[in-house]
């Protein structure tokens, strides 16, 4: 964590078995990693609030005195029925066929129970919970310390019963940790307690703690073992720390960006940019004009542009990018346009060329894709290196593979809001004569301000909210598939659309298996299939680049009536004559994804229709997501809605990457004030004391950014 490391191995500090269990179940090896495993919540003893708010199935802890213990028999089966009370609250506890429990749990015993809560006629009960005897009953043969399962694990520390009592009983707030089936919260708690005891006071990493917040050492201890004051202040301090780490990276990058130089590409009178603008087959929207002029100003200076362009699906980002690129081409430099998929890269190249041709603008556009033949690739590469290619279109791999440009002035990154700092850093080495190219990142998934600040704190942001005029309405309808009559109607509707001369997308959530594109394609096009008489194409990620390209081209030309595809068509694909989309098993997709998919229709002069086929039950979160998509086509609204259903890991793109999440406590959505504060604090620190800023950031490993480059 920022400015603090504790590389001691857990093996050195904890009993062997516990250290191993932690490594195996949580993947932690060092003390710092374990100490950053923060409680998910806290429970308070015999806290009726907790009990009342707990619902069926919650794991709860209850500490109390056994007020009655009865062994009941039915035939040969026995059942121990306990009543356990703490002050005014009581709970029933049942054990079946347990002679051990019958022997050691007796009236008067003080016992801690941990188990799953259930309700019997509205009365709370625990069935077969784990238990730990803190004080045996007066007439019992138990000595205290008897127990089962997880509670017993605490004894691994060789502590006496009274020590455990102190640990468990005297705490006002009991931390409940994210746990696994094999490693219960209790064992984690005991391990962390032990580690904290063996950890000397941690020096304040920031020199002095931020005003109004506790010291770092107090915060780390307090978050795990808060006193009567509760954990809130400590959590806030640690959130501040997490936010500051992100903010520092951005502040340092901003400072660094200011220092670097980019090629100056001023607007040229009578240039190709102007020529395109004058001959476009449509009028630019006001939003488009504003953004073009913002970008144009940026490009004219030698401060590297870092701009994020957010614009809903269909808002016309491509032409904005092309106008920007032509300004750079006008000053004799090259541009790269990066797309997330090959399908999109080829389509981009095609639509750029067609716009250029329509407007009579001469600029050479070259495609570079992984699946090109070696010869074709060599030819493209040559054009790139020699400077013959003005605009190079490819996938993000273009950058990863370190393609060399003759003189790269601008990089446009399309549909990639996860195009993180690291990737952008690679671009820096691409320029010529120590100049770094300008960067424009485009996305149709708007990002809330706080997230933009943290993830893209070094980018300026432009928004494109309005859609070009004449955009057609998309009527969206959720269709429950259990109604066979509706399903038949869907197929009929598809045929009507085709009969009217339009084209239809059918999207499936997977390639193989039941419900996959391959099966579905064969079922509907094979002998007797519903679309056997129509011209149907199949598109998915496993096809070769050439095959994909061929299918897309046929669909574009109108040779195909129906395109059955996976989400490879999710972004960017632009076929105005396609007016209907059917998404099968729509519950498999998130809101933003559905919105993106739907954006493939409604692009021409005809009204469009999107059907969301689903098995999701009414009222389930999945069904609610679909209703949200049905209710509006406003991408900004849907993006917010989407965030409510998702975790931030998703937003940051760290969840899939296999890294542990970097943010443990901070919520990018709700901790707005902390984020804003650290944003300012980081900027000040970088300005006033850059070496400290660098030192702090250098000690912080961020899964998205790696260790910050100190150079």
Chain residues binding Mg ion by CB under 5 A are: 572
Q: What does the alpha-carbon distance between residue 65 and residue 106 come to, in Å, rounded to a whole number?
A: 10
Instruction: In angstroms, give the least distance from the CB of 318 to ligand ADP.
Output: 3
Nearer to Mg ion, 498 or 578 (CB): 578
Nearer to ligand ADP, 502 or 603 (CB): 603
Residue nearest to Mg ion (CB): 572
Q: What does the alpha-carbon distance between residue 553 and residue 349 come to, in Å, rounded to a whole number?
A: 13
Interface with ligand ADP in residues 452-471 (CB under 6 A) = 468
Q: What are phi and psi of 337, to 5 degrees?
A: -115, 115
Q: What does the alpha-carbon distance between residue 691 and residue 276 come to, in Å, rounded to a whole number?
A: 48
Q: Which of Mg ion, ligand ADP, none interacts with 12 (beta carbon under 5 to 8 A by kind)?
A: none
Nearer to ligand ADP, 178 or 468 (CB): 468
Mask for 264-303, x = binds ligand ADP (CB under 6 A) = ------------------xxxx--x---------------
Q: Which of ligand ADP, Mg ion, none interacts with 409 (beta carbon under 5 to 8 A by kind)?
A: none
Q: Which of ligand ADP, Mg ion, none interacts with 149 (beta carbon under 5 to 8 A by kind)?
A: none
- Asked if residue 349 lies in contact with residue 393, where contact means CB atoms within 8 angstroms, the answer is yes
Helix or strand run (H / E) with residue 505: strand 503-507
Instruction: In angstroms, give the least distance from the CB of 567 to ligand ADP.
Output: 16
Interface with ligand ADP in residues 618-657 (CB under 6 A) = none
Q: Which of Mg ion, ligand ADP, none interacts with 156 (beta carbon under 5 to 8 A by kind)?
A: none
Nearer to ligand ADP, 39 or 311 (CB): 311
List of E strands, 75-109:
77-86, 89-96
Q: Which of ligand ADP, Mg ion, none interacts with 144 (beta carbon under 5 to 8 A by kind)?
A: none
Q: What is the largest CA-CA distance in the chain?
A: 101
Structure tokens at 432: 């010529």
| Residue bearing tokens 């007439």 | 139
Q: Which of Mg ion, ligand ADP, none interacts with 96 (beta carbon under 5 to 8 A by kind)?
A: none
Nearer to Mg ion, 572 or 604 (CB): 572
Q: What does the alpha-carbon distance between residue 46 and residue 62 come to, in Å, rounded to a whole number?
A: 5
Q: Does 598 bind ligand ADP (CB under 6 A)?
A: no
Q: Which of ligand ADP, Mg ion, none interacts with 319 (beta carbon under 5 to 8 A by kind)?
A: ligand ADP
Mask for 568-597, x = binds ligand ADP (CB under 6 A) = ----x-x-----------------------
Q: End-to-end distance of the chain based on CA atoms, in angstroms? A: 21
Q: Which of ligand ADP, Mg ion, none interacts with 311 (beta carbon under 5 to 8 A by kind)?
A: ligand ADP
Nearer to Mg ion, 319 or 508 (CB): 319
Instruction: In angstroms, give the least distance from the CB of 3 to ligand ADP.
Output: 42
Instruction: In angstroms, give the least distance from the CB of 280 to ligand ADP.
Output: 8
Nearer to Mg ion, 125 or 346 (CB): 346
Nearer to Mg ion, 603 or 679 (CB): 603
- Asked if residue 312 lies in contact with residue 637, where contact means CB atoms within 8 angstroms, the answer is no
Nearer to ligand ADP, 444 or 490 (CB): 444
What does the buried/exposed string (b/e) look like for 438-456 if buried means 16 or more CB atoms within 10 Å of the residue's CB?
bbbbbbbbbbeebbbbbbb
Q: What does the alpha-carbon distance between residue 469 and residue 448 come to, in Å, rounded to a whole number?
A: 26
Instruction: In angstroms, give the least distance from the CB of 255 to Mg ion.
Output: 32
Q: What does the alpha-carbon distance between residue 195 and residue 173 come to, in Å, rounded to a whole number?
A: 18
Q: How is 173-205 classified by DSSP, letter by letter? A: SEEE----SSS-HHHHHHHHHHHHHT-PPPP-T
Nearer to ligand ADP, 277 or 328 (CB): 277
Instruction: In angstroms, give the least distance from the CB of 272 to ligand ADP.
Output: 18
Nearer to Mg ion, 315 or 579 (CB): 315
Interface with ligand ADP in residues 307-346 (CB under 6 A) = 311, 313-319
Binds ligand ADP by CB under 6 A, chosen from 224, 417, 438, 603: 603
Nearer to ligand ADP, 107 or 294 (CB): 294
Binds ligand ADP by CB under 6 A, chosen from 195, 444, 453, 696: 444
Instruction: In angstroms, give the least distance from the CB of 462 to Mg ion.
Output: 15
Q: Is residue 706 exposed (0-12), middle (13-18) or buried (19+ Cβ within 10 Å)? A: exposed
Nearer to Mg ion, 117 or 349 (CB): 349
- Total residues at the site for ligand ADP (CB under 6 A)? 18
Q: What does the alpha-carbon distance between residue 553 and residue 534 come to, in Å, rounded to a whole number?
A: 17
CA 103 to chain centre: 51
- The H-assigned helical ranges of 387-431 are 397-400, 421-427
Q: What does the alpha-carbon distance between residue 162 and residue 168 come to, in Å, rounded to a whole number?
A: 10
Q: What does the alpha-carbon distance between residue 75 and residue 447 come to, in Å, rounded to a whole number?
A: 65
Instruction: In angstroms, give the least distance from the CB of 573 to ligand ADP.
Output: 9
HSE-CB for 336 with a 13 A CA cutoff: 34
Coil vs helix vs strand at 334: strand
| Residue bearing tokens 């260790």 | 707
Q: Quickly count: other Cβ atoms within 10 Å of residue 281's Cβ.
A: 7
Residue nearest to ligand ADP (CB): 316
Instruction: In angstroms, give the least distance from the CB of 275 to Mg ion.
Output: 23
CA distances from 211 to 206, 216, 291, 678 (A): 11, 12, 40, 12
Instruction: In angstroms, give the least distance from the CB of 322 to Mg ion.
Output: 11
3-state secondary structure 436-448: CCEEEEEECCCCC
- Residues near ligand ADP (CB under 6 A): 282-285, 288, 311, 313-319, 444, 468, 572, 574, 603
């Amino acid at each position: 964590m920022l400015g603090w490391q504790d590389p001691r191995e857990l093996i050195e500090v904890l009993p062997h078995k516990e250290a191993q269990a932690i490594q195996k179940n949580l993947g932690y090896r060092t003390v710092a990693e374990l100490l950053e495993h923060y409680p998910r919540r806290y429970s308070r003893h015999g806290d009726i609030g907790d009990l009342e708010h707990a619902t069926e199935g919650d794991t709860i802890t209850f500490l109390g005195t056994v007020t009655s213990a009865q062994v009941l028999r039915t035939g040969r089966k026995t059942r121990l029925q306990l009543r356990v009370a703490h002050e005014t609250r009581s709970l029933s506890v049942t054990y079946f066929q347990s002679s051990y429990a019958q022997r050691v749990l007796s009236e008067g015993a003080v016992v801690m129970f941990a188990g799953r809560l259930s309700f019997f006629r509205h009365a709370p009960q625990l069935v077969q919970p784990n238990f730990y005897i803190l004080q045996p009953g007066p007439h019992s043969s138990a000595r205290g310390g008897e127990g089962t399962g997880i509670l017993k694990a605490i004894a691994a520390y060789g502590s006496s019963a009274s020590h455990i009592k102190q640990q468990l009983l005297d705490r006002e707030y009991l931390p409940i940790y994210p746990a696994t089936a094999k490693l219960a919260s209790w064992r984690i708690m005991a391990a962390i307690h032990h580690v904290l005891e063996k950890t000397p006071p941690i020096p304040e990493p920031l020199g002095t703690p931020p005003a109004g917040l506790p010291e770092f050492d107090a915060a780390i201890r307090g978050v795990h073992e808060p006193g009567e004051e509760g954990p809130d202040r400590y959590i806030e301090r640690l959130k501040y720390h997490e936010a500051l780490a992100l903010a520092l990276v951005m502040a340092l990058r901003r400072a660094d960006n200011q220092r670097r130089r980019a090629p100056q590409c001023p607007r040229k009178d009578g240039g190709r940019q102007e020529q395109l603008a004058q001959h476009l087959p449509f009028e630019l929207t006001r939003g488009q004009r504003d953004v073009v002029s913002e970008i144009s100003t940026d490009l004219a200076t030698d401060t590297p542009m870092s701009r994020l362009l957010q614009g809903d699906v269909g808002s016309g980002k491509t032409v904005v990018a092309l106008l920007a690129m032509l300004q750079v081409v006008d000053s004799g430099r090259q541009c790269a346009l990066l797309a997330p998929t090959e399908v999109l890269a080829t389509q981009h190249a095609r639509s750029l060329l067609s716009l250029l041709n329509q407007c009579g603008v001469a600029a050479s556009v070259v495609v570079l894709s992984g699946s090109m033949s070696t010869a074709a690739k060599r030819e493209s590469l040559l054009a790139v290196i020699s400077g013959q290619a003005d605009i190079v279109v490819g996938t993000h791999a273009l950058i990863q593979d370190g393609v060399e440009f003759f003189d790269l002035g601008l990089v446009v990154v399309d549909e990639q809001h996860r195009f993180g700092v690291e990737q952008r850093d690679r671009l820096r080495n691409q320029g010529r004569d120590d100049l770094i190219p300008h960067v424009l990142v485009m996305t149709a998934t708007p990002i809330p301000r706080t997230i933009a600040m943290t993830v893209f704190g070094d980018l300026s942001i432009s928004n494109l909210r309005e859609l070009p005029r004449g955009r057609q309405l998309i009527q969206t309808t959720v269709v429950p598939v259990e109604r066979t009559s509706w399903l038949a109607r869907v197929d009929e509707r598809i045929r009507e659309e085709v009969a009217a001369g339009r084209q239809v997308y059918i999207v499936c959530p997977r390639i193989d298996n039941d419900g996959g594109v391959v099966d579905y394609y064969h079922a509907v096009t094979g002998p007797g299939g519903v679309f056997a008489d129509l011209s149907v194409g199949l598109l998915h990620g496993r096809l070769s680049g050439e095959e994909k390209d061929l299918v897309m081209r046929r669909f574009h030309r109108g040779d195909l009536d129906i395109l059955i595809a996976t989400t490879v068509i999710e972004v960017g694909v632009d076929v105005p004559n396609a007016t209907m989309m059917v998404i099968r098993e729509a519950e498999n997709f998130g809101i933003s994804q559905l919105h993106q998919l739907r954006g493939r229709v409604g692009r021409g002069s005809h009204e469009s229709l999107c059907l969301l086929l689903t098995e999701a039950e009414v009222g389930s979160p999945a069904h609610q997501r679909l209703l949200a998509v049905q209710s509006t086509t406003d991408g900004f609204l849907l993006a917010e809605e989407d965030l409510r259903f998702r975790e931030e890991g998703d937003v940051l793109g760290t969840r899939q990457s296999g890294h542990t999440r970097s943010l443990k406590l901070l919520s990018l959505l709700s901790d707005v004030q902390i984020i804003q504060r650290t944003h300012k604090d980081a900027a000040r620190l970088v300005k006033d004391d850059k070496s400290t800023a660098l030192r702090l950031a250098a000690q912080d490993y961020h899964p998205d950014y790696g260790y910050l480059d100190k150079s």
